[in-house]
Amino acid sequence: MSKSSSGGLFGRQHTGSVTLVEQPVRLTYQRKARLTFWVVGVAVGLLSATVASHYWHPLVGLLAGVAIGVIVGFLTALIVLAWPVLRALWWWADLIVTGTLVVVGWITLNSATNLTVSLLAVGLLFGVPAAVPAIRRPVVAVVWCAIVRHRLRLAFSRMVRSGGQGRPGSLPLILIARPTPAGERVWIWLRPGLSLTDLENQLGSLAEICAADQVRVCRASRSYAAFVRVDIGRRDPLRALVLNPLPGAVTGFDPAVMPVSPGMPPVGLDLPDVPEPADPDTASGRPPRQPRPRTNGNTPGPAGGKPDDPNDAFI
């Protein structure tokens, strides 16, 4: 048995007890709950006493305002104190709902039929999706969405701790996840301590933790920078062979025969089929031009002309 120490409202630490959240998180939200109780209680109490004094006696209005302030402050502080537990329940909501359905379904089925029929029904329930690919693929995609949500939570927890933030409330709120042709897509609401730039610098770590090929992050809203989207890629859907149905819709289309229009130049010619280009002098009927003789440095150029070499003028 564990021993616990007695304490006051919203503040004392119980040692030796098993908690659903970590101790630093619990202590932080205890301080927030105390502060919320006094701020909300005093503000609501003063406002309520002012309004009630116009209808009742001032002393009665003051007592009513104090009572209303205490009740509203207590309820608000209780919500703040329970927020880490509510967030943890949200993180594990998929497993809690699945486990509850499995237990309740088994108890109901076992109470309505005998053990043999119950085992046969459970075998069909899990065996048919595992054997039929058309059912197995969507089920596996949904399971991966649940796994990715927990892996991202673990990755964000490590990022916050390694970054020296030290604030338990900085863990982002993982909203929903859905399967995509390439993997999964997750929407996240960032809290103080993490930004989109921090996630972009840790894309390799996120891909490794999620057992994925690559991870991309971007803003999911133009108005709120804290609302981001994480795309997890496990496969490339463009690698699959996609058959084009358009050629089959054309009547009399043969892919081996290329249709040629009258104004279309011939295609698919070999080199022997291409004629040699004709000489322009031969086509006009003029005699072909003779090549001009070239001279070296020791032979003078044509009579009456300049020598090819300027040094020939001094020989």
- Amino acid 118: pLDDT: 84
Output the six-digit token pair for 43: 């503000």
Give residue 28's pLDDT band: very low, low, confident or very high (50, 70, 90). confident
pLDDT tens digits for 107-146?
888 888 888 888 888 888 888 888 888 888 899 999 999 9
171-187: per-residue pLDDT in tens?
Answer: 788 888 999 988 999 99
Alpha helices in the chain (DSSP H): 23-53, 58-91, 93-112, 115-131, 133-162, 196-200, 203-209, 246-249, 280-284
pLDDT level of residue 2 (50, 70, 90 thresholds): very low
State percent of the chain over pLDDT 90.
20
Instruction: Give the angle subtended at the CA of 308 by the CAs of 304 and 309, to the nearest 5°.
Output: 120
Is the per-residue pLDDT at 3 higher than 50? Answer: no
The residue that leads in pLDDT, 249 or 278, is 249
pTM: 0.57
DSSP 186-219: EEEE--TT--HHHHHTTHHHHHHHTT-SEEEEEE
- Per-domain residue ranges of the chain: 23-87, 92-131, 136-238
**Distance between first and last Cα of the chain:** 125
- The pLDDT-based confidence of 6 (bands split at 50, 70, 90) is very low
Q: Which CATH architecture fits 136-238?
A: 2-Layer Sandwich (3.30)
Q: What Rg do the C-alpha atoms of the chain give, in angstroms?
A: 41
CA distance 306 to 90: 100
DSSP labels, 26-40? HHHHHHHHHHHHHHH
Cα–Cα distance for residue pair 35/45, rounded to 1 Å? 15
The answer to which of 2-6, 216-220, 272-276, 299-303 has the lowest mean pLDDT is 2-6
Q: What is the model's pLDDT at position 5?
A: 44
